[in-house]
Amino acid sequence: MKIGGVIWRNYRQIWTRLSQLDNGHHKRVVFSQHVANRCDDAGSTLSYPKLTPQQVSSILRNNENTFELKRGKSVRSFDTNQLASNDPIEDRRSEARLTQTDGLMFGVFDGHAGCACAQAVSERLFEYIAVSLLPPHLLDEFNHALKDRLPSVNTWLLNWYRHDNDYFNTSMASLYRSNLHRYVTEMLSTSCMEDDHEFVMWDALTSAFVRLDQDISTEAMPGANGLVINPEMIDIAFSGTVACVAHIDGPHLHIANSGDSMAVLGSYDEDQNRWHATELSKEHNAQNLTEVKRIKDNHPSSESNFVIKNDRLLGQLAPLRAFGDVRYKWQHADLKKLTMAMNTPYAQNFIPPNYYTPPYLTVSPEIKYHRLRSQDKFLILATDGLWDMLSPDMVIRLVGQHMTGKQTYDPYVPNKGVKLKDINSVLLKRKSGIENRAIDKNSATHLIRNALGTSEFGVQHNKLSLMLSIPQDIVRLYRDDITVTVIFFDQDFLRTCPA
């Protein structure tokens, strides 16, 4: 059975994006060094349009947001921003408050082979996590709300923090809600329906990741009774995304990571007067030898020479854990069934070479727990577009300095009864902070500015101008999409929070 022209164009676009996946980090580092070498105080020798400082700032700030939390407990505020390289951008970000608990969730999602999977996961994953965290009696309440289609069902689980450019796929809302409801009913049927049942955070987060990925796969799978294909779901399932999610409830921080985005904690040691960067996630790529061993151990020794080849899964995919990417998960017969229906020269390329013992790819996240302390000042979630250009240590120092300088934007009005020596101490710190005051109030924007413009002479306008005016057809050789979220902790809460 052939697929119609409109639907096939969708598949051809997927394959084109799959075939264009590059080496990412290595290429962009080389080209970024090339840019730095060609930028000096006299100006760039490359013939791209010269942007003014105002134009540079306008581009960098176009997608920035700052949210102050009125009842965030351990979280006081967060900054977030994105800068596109792909058109459209393949990164996504999400932030939400859980309505049935005091928890907050933050996530960054780095898509590949298009933005479809990253878009779907950014819309759906938090709901799956929220459901997985519910005790049985609340799970039952939500189940009835879904059955009765109550108007409040959209905010029953989550209150979202929205951005001006957020897009939600309303055409798929009914399917998404139906599969979420199925997940709820299955959880109810297997639970003991006791409020005091044992709860394990690791299991809940893993279950949410894995179940959403299964639903994405099932939604794209051709039906058993004839080939019924949903091209939109095929686009989601055959593209992919990595995900790095933080769940924060009081002093309890959990990071669930699948792929090569990263979460880094910024802590300040007052005794040593220095910032510390603590990586709370591991990148799942070929540089992670433990990850490579895990994959090789899951397949016959006869495949060890090609299961990871050229630092890629089956020689093709860079991240070694991800949502979607069903061409590394489906059984060979199911992939063959779909490619035969496509009946085009591109179809055979959908099945990777040496595809003998699938699945080769998993979305199951690595989970890290950290109990927040008063010395923990902020958490950074970012896609690899940032980490390609700045080290975790540099990122933490930049945000730490930015925090000091940001305090001087607002006038200092001492509280009544404050001693003169305390006022003097504050004023001395503010004087020091003025030296660190950045151009951007938003710390995520500050990081992106430094990622693109830093050279041995500091942040250079010429390099920023060049990096922001590279033509669309080659910009991916210089930089990737960048998404950054910086979460600031409430020090008063952490100081007084019981152990």
- The encoded tokens of residue 58 equal 């306008």
DSSP string over 176-204:
HHHHHHHHHHHHHHHS---TT----HHHH
Distance CA 345, CA 493 (A): 61
| 41-64 average pLDDT score | 80
Per-residue pLDDT band for 6 (boundaries 50, 70, 90) equals very low
Q: Which SS3 state, helix, strand or coil, does residue 317 take?
A: strand
- Give the pLDDT confidence score for residue 45 in this predicted structure: 46
Burial, 380: exposed, middle or buried (Cβ in 10 Å; 0-12, 13-18, 19+)?
buried
Question: Quick check: 75 and 438 in contact, CB under 8 A?
Answer: no
Each residue of 352-372: pLDDT tens digit? 999 999 999 999 999 999 999
**Separation of alpha carbons 126 and 247, rounded Å:** 10
Asked whether residue 194 carries a pLDDT value surpassing 80, the answer given is no
Q: Which of 388, 126, 337 is nearest to 224 (CA)?
A: 337
Interval 309-337: pLDDT, tens: 999 999 999 999 999 999 999 999 999 88
User: Is the dihedral angle over the CA atoms 21, 22, 23, 28 positive or is it negative?
Assistant: negative
- 8-state DSSP, 362: B
Tens-digit pLDDT profile for residues 432-489: 555 556 899 999 999 999 999 988 778 999 999 999 999 999 999 999 999 999 999 9
Nearest to 313, CA basis, from 385, 415, 242: 242
Taking all residues of the chain, what is their mean pLDDT, rounded to a whole number? 86
**Amino acid 42: pLDDT:** 40
Of residues 498 and 299, which shows the higher confidence score? 299
Structure tokens, 286: 């070929």
Name the residue type at position 59. I
Q: What is the pLDDT of residues 206-247, one digit of tens each?
A: 999 999 999 999 999 877 545 567 889 999 999 999 999 999
What does the pLDDT read at residue 428? 63
**Is the dihedral angle over the CA atoms 381, 384, 385, 390 positive or is it negative?**
positive
Q: Which of 236, 242, 250, 182 is nearest to 209 (CA)?
A: 242
Instruction: State the pTM of this model.
Output: 0.88
Residue pLDDT, tens place only, 112-158: 999 999 999 999 999 999 999 999 999 999 999 999 888 888 899 99
Torsion over CA: 328, 333, 334, 340 (sign): positive
pLDDT band for position 35 (50/70/90)? low
Q: Answer positive or negative: Cα dihedral of 284, 289, 290, 292.
A: positive
pLDDT of residue 73: 86
User: What is the pLDDT at residue 340?
Assistant: 77
- pLDDT at res. 169: 80
What does DSSP say about strands 252-258 and 75-83: parallel, antiparallel, or unpaired?
unpaired
Q: So what's the pLDDT on residue 44? A: 43
Domains in the chain, CATH or no CATH each: 5-496 (3.60.40.10)
Q: Is the pLDDT of residue 193 over 80?
A: no
Q: What is the pLDDT of residues 387-441, one digit of tens each?
A: 999 999 999 999 999 998 755 455 656 666 777 776 666 556 655 555 556 899 9
Q: What is the pLDDT of residue 437?
A: 66
